[in-house]
């Protein structure tokens, strides 16, 4: 499948389907035509085409005024659940989950982090116990975006406490409507609750919702985590998109705010944003040829610092206006809309960027160890049965 | 435009690296900096003629290889990696000026000789010339001769021919007809000299109207190659430091196991990854004649200069005591990096130039 052939397929699809008609019917048909994620296999929304051709397909649909699948709302499904299901799921699971995931009919969330397992995710304590064809899951998850709207969650839980921590984990798809699943909003420093706490109390999941082998959950989860970092840091973006665009617009519109010291500070940030963008572009070219590797960590690492520096600069640039905040009302947003919030919100929200999806410190370890080959951290717990670890 | 390296570029890189490993290991570079001959003419001949580096950006009909500044940037990266004592930057800037002059109808015989590596022509300008500087008036032309002094010129000591910009033209002057006074320089591997002309016979290459585009093309190509060179310098410093930290033990562990060092190197790697993307983009824009070239070049210089300096400073620091000694090559890279950060304008100058280009006035 090459670019001209793909272009032709998109053209024929658009000729045969009414972009202004029923939204869901259109999205389902696009999936069935293999034009959803073109790198996926035939029958699962793709055509086995090179990943690099995806932007062109998306652009063609956008240009035709076609409805999209609200990618920001279903980012966890698209960026994390889907690649994991594709790689580790059974045929039945791929059939069942991928289509409604892509069309946005079913929203996904990620049940990974726990109060006692953040950076050390593999130490997680949520238990899954097998009873015949079912599993009974009990535990607590945190930092769960979209849990309140999600139909499914990707879940990792401990199925064998008698072996070292990485070996006793199994990966499941959690039915968020199952009895015993309780979602509570978790208010953040921004005042809103983008995340949730999820309490799992004797939740029964059929064994058909297990993804991968029993005890192989850590390996499956690594697929999710690698894709998460790429999803967070490696998006396609034009120049001056993101926070630098907001600050640049303010600078242009408001000459009275400018000082010479801030001018060079602004230009430093502008350059930093531009080189991060170019590095992201180069990374995507590399990914088009293969799988996400540790380089995705670099993009996420750079993005976190950049957002924090730019949003901090923006507040000081604004001076007295930076002393105010738009609204502390507790809300549960579906999409992080920092563009339309006050600078104070951007400043506070950006603090999460170096924590979510792997802290910057952990990412620095990953780069140092996997890219540069420096000696690994001392790990005293890797050979100790999980149940014997101090908690 | 791709920001990756093509297979052809990787082959070129291997050929250049092989030659440099063989003919100019750091021990040889270090030995040379103590001697009388700052540049390595045999090495330059091999690079310019045998590998064909002198004519990469010159069209085939003018005796070049018909490649582009992208390939020349790959060579610059390798030369930075080896802090090779060759006049690549000054020669490339002269080539860029000559190419622009030929585009405007100047005779092309000189360019053909330069592309073949038979003549080493070097552009006469202060190495510290910042971006967007107009053609300097320090040298004047009259009656087919030039007079004046240009200070702090890079690579002229290795030149046969000097390409001299004046406000009313671009001139070719035989190096033998100028007085070159070598200066003691911070960078031991790219020497500077003051060039004095006293009614030196000069052949015209471009006139009053066309000298400015030649000058701008030279500055732009120089900045692109310098950015690539800085990527090479930074990459060597990171590689050498990582290798050292794996074997150097203190307190019973390799020092590379300590997060205080690991995290700094991880950050440096991220910065170098970005520098490579920025340098590739700038080289691509200049090659393609992309209208974004001025922005791309300013971004590349504003980012790559400080990254190379930081890499070299970390290299010295993380090598500890030995990194501060003359016998270790780290200082060659530190001196190159710091000088290169001033060459063709500091990062701050490029940020100022960029501000005007992207409508962010001070």
Residue from the list B246, B277, B354 with its beta carbon closest to the beta carbon of A374: B246
For position B179, what pLDDT does the model report?
98
Residue A378: its chain B contacts at CB < 8 A? Answer: 257
In DSSP terms, which residues pair with A155 in a beta bridge?
A111, A172
> Exposure of A13 by Cβ count < 10 A (0-12 exposed, 13-18 middle, 19+ buried)?
buried
pLDDT of A234 higher than 60: no
Contacts of A375 in chain B (CB under 8 A): 246, 253-254, 256-257
The answer to whether B266 contacts A276, with C-beta atoms less than 8 Å apart, is no
A254 close contact with B: CB closer than 8 A: no
Q: State whether B4 and A282 contact (CB < 8 Å).
A: yes
- Across the interface, whether the CB atoms of B360 and A251 are under 8 A apart is answered yes
- A181 against B33, higher pLDDT: A181
Whole-number Å distance between alpha carbons of B189 and B172? 26
- Chain B residue numbers touching A268 (CB-CB < 8 A): 351
Which chain A residues contact residue B283 at CB under 8 A?
A: none
* Sign of the C-alpha dihedral computed for residues B125, B128, B134 and B138 taken in this order: negative
Beta bridge partners of A58: none
Structure tokens given for A329 = 């009302």
Interchain proximity B263–A364, CB inside 8 Å: yes
Q: Does A365 touch chain B (CB under 8 A)?
A: yes
Q: CA Rg, chain B, in Å?
A: 20
A-B contacts at Cβ under 8 angstroms: 122
Phi first, then psi, for residue A67 (nearest 5°) are: -70, 145
Shortest Cα distance, chain B CAs vs residue A177, angstroms:
42
pLDDT at A290: 65
Q: Which residue of B has its CA nearest to A287?
A: B4
pLDDT for position A289: 66
A236 touches chain B (CB under 8 A): no
Q: Which residues of B touch A267 (CB under 8 A)?
A: 302, 351-352, 354-355, 360
Does A291 score more than 60 pLDDT?
A: no
Residue B150's pLDDT is 98
Whether the CB-CB separation of B341 and B187 falls below 8 Å is answered with no
* Interchain CB distance below 8 Å, B3 and A361: no
Structure confidence by residue, pLDDT tens digits, B23-57: 999 999 999 987 888 899 999 999 999 999 999 99
Q: Could you tell me the pLDDT band of residue B107, with boundaries at 50, 70 and 90? A: confident
Pull the structure tokens for residue B325. Answer: 């000694």
Contact A376/B266, CB-based, under 8 Å? no
Q: Any CB–CB contact under 8 A between A281 and chain B?
A: yes
The span from the CA of A391 to the CA of A11, in Å, is: 58
Give the distance from residue B15's alpha carbon to the nearest chain A alpha carbon, in angstroms.
Answer: 24
CB B257 to CB A376 under 8 A?
A: yes
| Nearest-CB residue to B360 (from A248, A301, A376) | A248
What is the C-alpha R_g of chain A?
Answer: 22
List residues in chain B touching A: CB distance below 8 A. Answer: 2-4, 238, 242, 245-246, 253-254, 256-257, 259, 262-263, 265-267, 269-270, 273-278, 280-281, 299, 302-303, 348, 351-352, 354-355, 358-362
Q: Minimal Cα–Cα distance from A148 to chain B, Å?
A: 36
Residue A292 — pLDDT band, cuts 50, 70, 90? low
- Interface check for A225 against chain B (CB to CB < 8 A): the answer is no
Q: Which of A263, A285, A361 sits opposite B355 (nearest CB)?
A: A263
Chain A from 258 to 277: CB within 8 A of any B CB? 258, 260, 263-264, 266-268, 270-272, 274-276
| Minimum distance, in Å, between the CA of residue B330 and any CA atom of chain A | 19
Active-site residue set of A:
228
Q: Is A330 left (phi over 0), alpha (psi -120 to 50) or beta?
A: beta
- Name the A residues in 291-310 with CB < 8 Å from any B CB: 295, 298, 301-302
Residue A251 at interface with chain B, using a CB cutoff of 8 Å: yes
| Statement: residue A227 has pLDDT above 80 | no
DSSP A81: I
Strand partners, A110: A154
Q: Could you report the per-residue pLDDT of B113-138, keeping only the tens digit for each?
A: 999 999 999 999 999 999 999 999 99
Determine, for residues B299 and A302 on separate chains, whether the beta-carbon distance falls below 8 Å.
Answer: no
C-alpha–C-alpha distance, residues B114 and B101, integer Å = 14
Please give, one letter per residue, the 3-state secondary structure of chain B.
CCCCCCHHHHHHHHHHHHHHHHHCCHHHHHHHHCCCCCCCHHHHHHHHHHCCHHHCCCCHHHCCCCCCHHHHHHHHHHHHHCCCCCCHHHHHHHHHHHHHHHHCCCCCHHHHHHHHCCCCEEECCECCCCCCCCCCCCEEEECCEEEEEEEEEECHHHCCEEEEEECCEEEEEEHHHCEEEECCCCCCCCCEEEEEEEEEECEEEECCCCHHHHHHHHHHHHHHHHHHHHHHHHHHHHHHHHHHHHHCEECCEEHHHCHHHHHHHHHHHHHHHHHHHHHHHHHHHHHHCCCCHHHHHHHHHHHHHHHHHHHHHHHHHHCHHHHHCCCCCHHHHHHHHHHHHHCCCCHHHHHHHHHHHCCCCC
A257 at B interface, C-beta within 8 A? no
% chain B with pLDDT above 90: 95
Query: With an 8 Å Cβ cutoff, are B266 and A367 in contact?
Result: yes
Cα(A146)–Cα(A154) distance, integer angstroms: 12
Q: What is the pLDDT of residues A64-100, one digit of tens each?
A: 999 999 988 898 999 899 999 999 999 999 999 999 9
Chain B residues inside the 8 Å CB shell of A369: 262
Q: Of A224-233, B152-161, B221-230, B247-256, give the lowest mean pLDDT range.
A: A224-233
Residue A391 CB contacts under 8 Å (≥ 6 apart), including other chains: A116, A123, A125
Q: Which pLDDT band, with edges at 50, 70 and 90, does A284 fall under?
A: confident
| Mutate: best of A275, A288, A299, partner B, most B CBs <10 A | A275
Query: Whole-prediction pTM value?
Result: 0.92
Distances (CA, A) of A143 to A199, A336, B182, B300: 12, 14, 64, 38
How many percent of chain B have pLDDT more than 70? 100
Tens digit of each residue's pLDDT (9 = 90 or more) over B295-315: 999 999 999 999 999 999 999
User: Residue B112's pLDDT band (boundaries 50, 70, 90)?
Assistant: very high
State ipTM.
0.96
Instruction: Find chain A residues with C-beta within 8 A of B245's C-beta.
Output: 374
Interchain CB distance below 8 Å, A374 and B262: yes
- Of B277, B354, B361, Cβ closest to residue A281: B277
Q: Give the DSSP H or E segment for A231.
A: helix A217-233
Residues from chain B that touch A271, judged by Cβ atoms under 8 A, are: 299, 302-303, 351, 354
CB neighbour list of residue B39: distance below 8 Å, 6 or more residues apart: B85, B86, B87, B155, B157, B158, B191
């Amino acid at each position: 499948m090459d670019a001209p052939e793909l272009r032709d397929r998109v053209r024929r699809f658009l000729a045969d389907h009414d972009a202004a008609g029923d939204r869901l019917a259109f999205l389902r048909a696009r999936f069935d035509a293999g034009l959803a994620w073109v790198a996926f296999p035939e029958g699962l929304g793709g055509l086995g085409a090179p990943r690099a051709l995806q932007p062109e397909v998306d652009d063609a649909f956008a240009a035709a005024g076609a409805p999209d699948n609200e990618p920001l709302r279903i980012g966890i499904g698209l960026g994390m659940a889907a690649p994991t299901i594709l790689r580790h799921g059974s045929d039945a699971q791929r059939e069942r989950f991928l289509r409604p995931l892509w069309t946005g009919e079913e929203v996904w969330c990620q049940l990974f982090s726990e109060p006692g397992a953040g950076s050390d995710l593999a130490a997680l304590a949520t238990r899954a116990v097998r009873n015949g064809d079912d599993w009974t899951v009990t535990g607590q998850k945190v930092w769960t975006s979209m849990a309140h709207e999600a139909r499914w969650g990707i879940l990792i839980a401990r199925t064998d406490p008698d072996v070292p921590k990485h070996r006793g984990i199994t990966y499941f798809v959690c039915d968020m409507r199952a009895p015993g699943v309780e979602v509570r909003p978790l208010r953040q420093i921004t005042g809103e609750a983008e995340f949730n706490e999820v309490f799992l109390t004797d939740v029964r999941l059929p064994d058909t919702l297990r993804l991968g082998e029993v005890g192989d959950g850590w390996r499956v989860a690594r697929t999710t985590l690698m894709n998460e970092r790429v999803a967070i840091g490696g998006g396609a973006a034009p120049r001056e998109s993101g926070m630098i665009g907001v600050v640049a617009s303010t600078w242009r519109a408001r000459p009275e705010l400018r000082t010479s010291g801030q001018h060079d500070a602004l230009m430093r940030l502008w350059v930093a944003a531009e080189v991060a963008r170019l590095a992201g572009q180069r990374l995507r070219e590399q990914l088009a040829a293969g799988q996400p590797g540790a380089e995705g960590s670099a993009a996420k690492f750079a993005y976190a610092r950049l957002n924090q520096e730019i949003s901090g600069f923006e507040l000081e640039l604004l001076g007295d206006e930076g002393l105010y905040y738009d609204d502390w009302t507790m809300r549960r947003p579906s999409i992080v809309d920092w563009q339309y919030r006050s600078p104070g919100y951007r400043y506070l929200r950006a603090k999460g960027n170096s924590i979510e999806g792997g802290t910057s410190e952990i990412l620095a370890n990953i780069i140092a160890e996997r890219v540069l080959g420096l000696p690994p951290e001392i790990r005293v717990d890797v050979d100790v049965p999980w149940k014997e670890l101090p908690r | 435009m791709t920001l990756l390296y093509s297979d052809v570029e990787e082959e070129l890189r291997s050929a250049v690296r092989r030659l440099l490993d063989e003919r100019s290991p750091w021990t040889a570079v270090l030995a040379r900096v103590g001697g009388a001959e700052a540049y390595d003419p045999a090495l330059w001949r091999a690079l310019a003629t045998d590998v064909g580096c002198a004519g990469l950006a010159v069209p085939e009909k003018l005796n070049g290889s018909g490649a582009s500044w992208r390939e020349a940037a790959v060579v610059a990266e390798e030369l930075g990696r080896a802090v090779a004592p060759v006049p690549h930057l000054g020669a490339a800037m002269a080539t860029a000026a000559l190419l622009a002059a030929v585009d405007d109808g100047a005779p092309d015989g000189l360019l053909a000789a330069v592309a073949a590596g038979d003549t080493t022509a070097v552009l006469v300008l202060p190495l510290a010339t910042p971006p967007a500087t107009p053609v300097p008036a320090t040298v004047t032309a009259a009656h087919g001769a030039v007079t004046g002094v240009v200070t702090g010129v890079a690579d002229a000591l290795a030149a046969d021919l000097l390409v001299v910009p004046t406000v009313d033209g671009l001139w070719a002057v035989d190096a033998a007809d100028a007085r070159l006074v070598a200066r003691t320089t911070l960078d031991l591997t790219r020497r500077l000299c003051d060039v004095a002309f006293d009614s030196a016979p000069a052949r015209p290459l471009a006139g009053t109207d066309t000298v400015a585009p030649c000058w701008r093309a030279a500055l732009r190509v120089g900045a692109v190659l310098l950015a690539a060179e800085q990527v090479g310098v930074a990459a060597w410093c990171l590689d050498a430091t990582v290798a050292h930290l794996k074997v150097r033990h203190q307190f019973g562990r390799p020092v590379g196991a300590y997060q205080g060092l690991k995290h700094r190197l991880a950050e440096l790697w991220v910065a170098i990854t970005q520098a490579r993307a920025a340098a590739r983009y700038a080289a691509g824009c200049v090659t393609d004649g992309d209208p974004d070239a001025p922005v791309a070049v300013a971004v590349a210089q504003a980012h790559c200069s400080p990254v190379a300096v930081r890499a070299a400073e970390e290299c010295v620091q993380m090598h500890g005591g030995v990194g501060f000694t003359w016998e270790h090559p780290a200082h060659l890279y530190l001196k190159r990096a710091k000088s290169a950060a001033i060459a063709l304008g500091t990062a701050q100058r490029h940020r100022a130039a960029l501000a005007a280009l992207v409508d962010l006035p001070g």
